[in-house]
Structure 1
Amino acid sequence: MNKLDNIKIVFFDIDDTLTVKNMDNYLPPSVAVALEKLQQKGIDIAIASGRAKYGVIDAIRALNFDTFVMINGNYVEHHGEVLYSNPLPVEEIERFIAWCNDNGVGYGFTGSEACAVSERSDWVIECLDPIYYNAIVDAEFYRKHPVYQMWTFSDKPLEELIPTDEFPDLKFVRWHPYSMDVFSSFGSKANGIDQVLKKMNIDAKDAMAFGDELNDREMFKKVGFAVAMGVAHPELVELADFQTKNVEDDGILYALQTLGVIE
């Protein structure tokens, strides 16, 4: 049997997967068409993003997603209820803040309902404003709210500078030339997806995913069939079962129709 014959749920990244990030988060009409066809076949649709839910644009919220695997899998909502949460320990946050301060690196925090930055720098404006235009400046946000992910803001080569052996419980993933996601080494989109699959009693082989960036690697390894977008990172393409067109070229609809998941 073709491994696409029994797909029960499809997980979608957001940036450059459902929307075009450098085109003001443009959402092609073909995306809504594709998602509606999936739902008509009884296939569930879910978001799996590095964003928090408050960073999801209204146009995507209107597409009737019931499941949100957010903040790189560290915060999961299913039918409006929190299914899973994995906040960073305060002591780990404080250790990393100390390193950032010692090395002139800006930082930020992702909470479940709001986000904050240590300062409003040019890097923050370029990286974060297109997604979280309302991020507050509060270097002690973590003392008042659970934090599920941090960010770095710098033009320095942090992959070379951060002493990762001193932070074994943290994972560092670049998502922008001037920023990295920093979250629990035990967290990933795959872990969040696993919580959803267990809740819905779905086998991983019957799940499908679309993505484009390095934080989608674990997700691609988790699901039964993975589709890389046209602009996907080369490392992600190597993990994919299929590479489709760019989202602005109707890549979601093209892949699902070409693969026979929908008509």
Structure 2
Amino acid sequence: MIKLVAFDVDGTLRERDYMPESTREAVAELKSRGIIVALCTGRSEFEVGALQKELDIEWAITCNGAHIGHKGTTVFGTPFEPELVRHWLDTADENGHGLLLYGAELMLTNRPNDPLFRQAQEEIGFLEPVVLRREDDVPPIYQCIAYVREHEEQPYIGSDPGKFYLHRWRPWAVDINPKGTHKAAGLLRLLDHLGVRREEAAAFGDGFNDVELLEFVGTGIAMGNAPDAVKARARHVTTSMHDDGIRNGVDRYVLS
């Protein structure tokens, strides 16, 4: 029996501001049956707060698993060392790179008008970040998005990429998270907290940062719009997001 369902956000629950009505209905039905619903996303909790309220979802695993919140309050978190974040900021200033830093309650940036950040904002949508000045204290940061190409990332990750969890989602943008954090690790922490076994969990996702999640749960469901390499790692494949993929996947693989 499935007791918890985790949903990726972008390309799974919604695309920019569009969400199928069938998705809302499916999430509401899960909740009506007493099944716990959680968001599980590479975005920050700050960015998905409105979505949580819209769908009445209490739990959010954000920052690719590095932060877990309940109704907007931090329950677990794996932040970077402040000295490392400060080093990244200095490096970015020296090289003219833009950074987006995810805290629990806000997003920060060193270059608010960085052209690559603005391109990402245009393509997938970002809320407007707060500028972090040199004299400001660095709050707990759970994820860094560096707007750099692969050959430019070495100053940020060092000579051993295994020191971090990396997810490159554009040729010019990469997520950097603390080592050992990914969506499956974050979900495991939540499952342990709630007393739910992984076999009793299902998850929906469409991206390469969902692979660990889809393989970890008892019922991993890839969206029809996911790349073939992601679909190959999931137990099941539903239809695309625009073709009622959540509704169909919930009916066929969760509630059945």
TM-score, normalising length from structure 2? 0.88
Evaluate the alpha carbon distance shift between residue 66 and residue 60 of structure 1 in structure 2; reply closer, same or farther with a 3 A threshold. closer
Q: How far apart in 2 are the matches of 1:220 and 1:15? A: 15
Matches within 5 A, 1:20-99: 20-21=15-16, 25-56=17-48, 58-79=50-71, 81-99=73-91
Contact 1:116–1:141 (CA<8 Å) still a contact in 2? no
- Tell me by how many angstroms 1:168 deviates: 4.2
Aligned mates of 2:134, 2:178 — CA distance in 1: 19
Relative to its length, the structure with more helix (as a share) is 2
8 A contact 2:167–2:174 mirrored in 1? yes
1:203 aligns to what?
197
Aligned to 1:136: 130
Displacement, 1:211? 0.5
Gaps spanning 5+ residues in structure 1: where?
1-5
Name whichever of 162-171 and 210-219 sits farther off: 162-171
- Cα offset, 1:89, TM superposition: 0.7
Amino acid at match of 2:204: F
CA deviation profile, 1:13-70 (whole Å, cap 9, x unmatched) = 000000023xxx2011001111122122221111001111221163552211111111
Aligned CA distance change for structure 1 residues 224 and 152 (closer, same or farther; 3 Å): same
Change (3 A) 1:108 1:71: same
Counterparts in 2 of 1:250 and 1:141: CA distance versus 1, 3 Å: farther
Say if 2:213 is the partner of 1:219: yes
Please report how far the alpha carbon of residue 91 of structure 1 lies from its aligned counterpart in structure 2 after TM superposition.
Answer: 2.5
1:105-116 equivalent positions in 2, closer than 5 A? 105-116=97-108
8 Å contact 2:120–2:126 — kept in the other structure?
no
Matched, 1:124 2:105: no
Q: 1:210 to 1:236 in 2, by over 3 A?
A: same
CA-based RMSD:
2.4
Contact 1:10 1:44 (C-alpha < 8 Å) held by counterparts? yes
Whichever residue aligns with residue 187 of structure 2, its letter is I
Please report how far the alpha carbon of residue 237 of structure 1 lies from its aligned counterpart in structure 2 after TM superposition.
Answer: 1.3
Does the Cα contact within 8 Å between 1:73 and 1:187 map onto a contact in 2?
Answer: yes
* Greater Cα offset, 138-147 or 26-35: 138-147
How many Å separate the matches in 1 of 2:10 and 2:31? 22
- Aligned residue-pair number: 253
1:146 aligns with 2:135: no
1:177 and 1:8 map into 2 onto residues whose CA distance is 38
- Displacement, 1:81? 4.1
CA distance in 1, matches of 2:58, 2:158: 36
Aligned position for 1:9: 4
Q: Summarize the Cα distance change of 1:32–1:151 in structure 2 as closer, same or farther, 3 Å threshold.
A: same
The one-letter amino acid of 1:46's match is A
Query: Which residue in 2 is equivalent to 1:3?
Result: none
Q: State the partner residue of 2:186.
A: 192
The Cα shift of 1:221 comes to: 2.4
Decide which moves more: 130-139 or 188-197.
130-139
- The 2-side partners of 1:142 and 1:210 are apart by 38
The answer to whether the 8 Å contact 1:78/1:196 transfers is no
In the alignment, residue 114 of structure 2 is paired with which amino acid?
Answer: S
What is the TM-score of this pair, normalised by structure 1? Answer: 0.86
Q: CA 1:81–1:106 in structure 2 vs 1: closer, same or farther (change >3 Å)?
A: closer
